[in-house]
Structure formats: C-alpha cells, structure tokens
C-alpha cells in the first residue's frame, strides 16, 4: 500500500479528501460525525460508517457536517441516518437520537 501516515487524531481540520476516502472505505468509526460523504450521483449523503456499498470516488463530495451537506441539496441516507450522527444533525439538540452518556 501507500506511505500515507495513519490519521492518529481525526478532526474536522484534517479533512483531507484522501483521509476521508480511506476512512469511508474502511468504515472507520473514529470518523463518524467528523465528516459526511455526499454522493452526487444519488443526491444522498452518508456517514463514513454507512453499511451501503461505497460509491465511486468521482461521485463523492465530503462535508464537515450534515447541515452542510443538506444545504448543498443532499438528502440523508436512510440506512446510516447521517442526520442523527453525533454532532451532525441540524436539530441535534431537539431530536437526540440515542442515549448520550454525557459524563
């Protein structure tokens, strides 16, 4: 494989497309909520951990939040529910999707 360094501490600031690409292809849970994969061919956006087959790289855009993907005209995937992802939902506070251990 390549000599790309492993992303030790993922953050929004490290949204390198190559990093995102590798994260979504490996469904790296560390990236869940850090970026969203928008698929131009379907108009859908997904979490990196989406169980659906990975779209072609040339059809993919990456967004730092679900809100950003939605404002670009994408709809949330029904399989991975990106609008419910940690830190991703436009209305996250109101629709808290799962028990959040806050402490």
Cα 102 to chain centroid distance, Å, stands at 22
Q: Count of alpha carbons within 13 Å of 100, Cβ hemisphere only?
A: 11
Instruction: Give the span between the Cα atoms of 6 and 2, in whole angstroms.
Output: 11
46 catalytic per annotation: yes
Judged by CB under 5 A, the number of residues near Zn ion is 6
Site string for Zn ion, 36-55 (x = CB under 5 A): ----------x---x-x---
Measured from the CB atom, is 15 or 52 closer to Zn ion? 52
Site string for Zn ion, 73-92 (x = CB under 5 A): ----x-xx------------
DSSP 3-state of 70? helix
Measured from the CB atom, is 46 or 92 closer to Zn ion? 46
Instruction: Give the span between the Cα atoms of 21 and 23, in whole angstroms.
Output: 5
Where in the sequence numbering do the catalytic residues fall? 46
Which residues of the shown chain bind Zn ion in the complex (CB under 5 A)? 46, 50, 52, 77, 79-80
């Amino acid at each position: 494989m390549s000599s790309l360094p492993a992303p030790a501490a993922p953050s929004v600031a490290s949204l390198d497309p190559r990093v995102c690409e590798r994260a979504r292809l490996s469904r790296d849970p560390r990236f869940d909520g850090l970026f969203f994969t928008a698929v131009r061919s379907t108009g859908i956006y997904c979490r990196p951990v989406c169980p659906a087959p990975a779209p072609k790289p040339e059809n993919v855009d990456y967004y730092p939040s679900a809100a950003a993907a939605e404002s670009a005209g994408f709809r949330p995937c029904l399989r991975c529910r990106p609008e419910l992802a940690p830190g991703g939902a436009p209305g996250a506070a109101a629709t808290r999707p799962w028990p959040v251990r806050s402490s």
